[in-house]
């Protein structure tokens, strides 16, 4: 198959790893973000690296790859000519590491996943809206392998992982492959905080709460923001809290570090309660009782949490209050209070905590 008039480049002087790295960078920077073309170029980056002449394509190429090359070949070759301007060493090293160390184990794991209900596999760790994670054993060490539902999601997630390198208590990138649709990370210890029942939940120490706040501050300093959903946090009684999910910050976002820190209240007070049947005749009675139990956890923790902020991070608390007061002036915004008293049921066990919070200014 031949395309006339495409500019040529000489791949002989470049390693396959470098060419594949450049294909990944082209997908990231040379085509529209989150487009189908971006996903396909990432998927076929390894095959693109083996093509020596874009005007004379191998006859066994997938038709969708042929169409991609036909559509983007001029821009792709011009992009490759910027070789000296492209920093590809990290990607090249990843390609080598993945092929030599992780690919055989990933291929074996993918075969298991394809056989049936992957959630029943002993390797299964959990699923989110963007993919599922599994234990991956390589050379006697256990990693977390996340398979994204779409390749461009993996490309989106890799960027903050690279930026968060060496920040303790956060997900750390080890390797990845767009071809296999997998991101390999260090396996963090501990338990998803949403899996703690009220009876089994550990008592989070002040030291570990401070450690969690400082982790969020380190991420913020690298231009990263957390997803405050409680299931994105794990707790280990020895090591403290681990942060599983974070992303690149949006420059124009009003949701800054103070809002992120205050949002930790949801993770610090998350518990696994019995689900209620809203159709049951005793639903309202059970819902009220459960609300009381939730607030027996929430209110004492907020006293401790806000006390830590007032003592160690007064600027963060002041900045949160400043933005909160500003938002309340906006008639188009529904702004909640730090302690939503109107939703807290009246109960003698809760009154002392509410009084203490009021004395603290909340």
Digit-coded pLDDT (tens) for 224-283: 999 999 999 999 999 999 999 999 998 777 789 999 999 999 999 999 999 999 999 999
What is the C-alpha separation between 74 and 5, in angstroms, rounded?
A: 9
Report CA dihedral (258, 259, 265, 268) to the nearest 10 degrees.
-70
pLDDT of 192 reads 96
Q: Which residues partner with 243 through β-bridges?
A: 170, 233
Residue 84 pLDDT grade (very low, low, confident, very high; cuts 50, 70, 90): low
Residue 9 pLDDT grade (very low, low, confident, very high; cuts 50, 70, 90): very low
Asked if residue 6 has pLDDT above 50, the reply is no
Asked if residue 350 has pLDDT above 70, the reply is yes
pLDDT of 138 reads 98
To which residue do tokens 């980056």 refer?
A: 45
What is the C-alpha separation between 289 and 299, in angstroms, rounded?
A: 15
What is the C-alpha separation between 228 and 303, in angstroms, rounded?
A: 20
Residue (of 246, 222, 227, 231) closest to 170 by Cα position: 246
What is the C-alpha separation between 338 and 265, in angstroms, rounded?
A: 10
- Residue range 283-307: mean pLDDT, rounded: 97
Mapped to the 3 state alphabet, what secondary structure does 137-184 carry?
EECCEEEEEEEECCHHHHHHHHHHHHHCCCCCCECCEEEEECCCCEEE
The mean pLDDT of the chain is 91
What is the C-alpha separation between 182 and 144, in angstroms, rounded?
A: 10
Report CA dihedral (333, 319, 309, 164) to the nearest 10 degrees.
90
Asked if residue 19 has pLDDT above 70, the reply is yes
Structural domains of the chain sorted by starting position, each given as residue range(s) with its CATH number in brackets: 11-85 (no CATH), 89-186 (3.30.200.20), 191-359 (no CATH)
Instruction: Of 38-42, 70-74, 105-109, 329-333, give the range with the top mean pLDDT.
Output: 105-109
Give me 301's structure tokens.
């923790």
The answer to whether the beta carbons of residues 193 and 235 sit under 8 Å apart is yes
pLDDT digits (tens, 9 = 90+) for 40-75: 999 999 998 888 888 888 888 888 899 999 999 889
Give me 350's structure tokens.
């809760």
Backbone angles phi, psi at 174, to 5 degrees: -110, -50
Class of residue 155 by CB neighbours under 10 A (exposed 0-12, middle 13-18, buried 19+)? buried
What is the C-alpha separation between 241 and 189, in angstroms, rounded?
A: 9
pLDDT of 3 reads 38
CB atoms within 10 A of CB 362: 15
Q: Rounded to two decimals, what is the model's pTM?
A: 0.86
pLDDT of 31 reads 87
């Amino acid at each position: 198959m031949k395309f006339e008039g495409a500019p040529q480049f000489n791949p002989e002087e470049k390693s396959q790893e470098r060419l594949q790295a450049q294909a990944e960078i082209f997908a990231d920077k040379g085509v529209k973000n989150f487009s189908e073309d971006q996903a396909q170029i990432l998927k076929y980056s390894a095959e693109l690296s083996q093509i020596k002449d874009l005007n004379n394509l191998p006859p066994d190429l997938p038709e969708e790859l042929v169409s991609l090359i036909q559509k983007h070949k001029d821009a792709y070759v011009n992009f490759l000519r910027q070789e000296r301007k492209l920093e590809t060493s990290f990607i090249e090293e990843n390609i080598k590491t993945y092929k030599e160390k992780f690919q055989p184990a990933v291929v074996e794991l993918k075969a298991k996943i394809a056989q049936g209900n992957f959630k029943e596999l002993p390797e299964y760790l959990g699923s989110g809206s963007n993919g599922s994670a599994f234990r991956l054993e390589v050379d006697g060490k256990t990693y977390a392998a996340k398979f994204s539902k779409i390749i461009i999601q993996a490309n989106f997630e890799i960027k903050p992982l690279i930026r968060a390198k060496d920040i303790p208590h956060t997900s750390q990138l080890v390797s990845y492959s767009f071809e296999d649709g997998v991101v390999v990370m260090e396996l963090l210890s501990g338990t998803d905080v949403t899996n703690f029942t009220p009876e089994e939940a550990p008592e989070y120490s002040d030291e570990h709460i401070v450690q969690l706040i400082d982790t969020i501050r380190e991420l913020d300093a690298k231009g990263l923001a957390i997803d405050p959903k409680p299931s994105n946090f794990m707790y280990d009684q020895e090591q403290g809290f681990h942060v599983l999910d974070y992303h690149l910050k949006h420059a124009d976002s009003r949701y800054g570090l103070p809002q992120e820190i205050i949002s930790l209240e949801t993770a610090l007070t998350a518990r696994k309660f019995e689900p209620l049947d809203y159709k049951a005749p005793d639903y309202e009675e059970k819902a009220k009782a459960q609300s009381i139990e939730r607030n027996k956890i929430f209110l004492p923790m907020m006293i401790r949490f806000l006390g830590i902020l007032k003592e160690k991070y007064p600027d963060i608390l002041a900045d949160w209050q400043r933005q909160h007061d500003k938002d309340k002036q906006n008639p188009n915004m529904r702004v909640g209070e730090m302690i939503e008293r109107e939703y807290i049921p009246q109960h003698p066990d809760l009154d002392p905590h509410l009084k203490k919070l009021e004395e603290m200014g909340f």
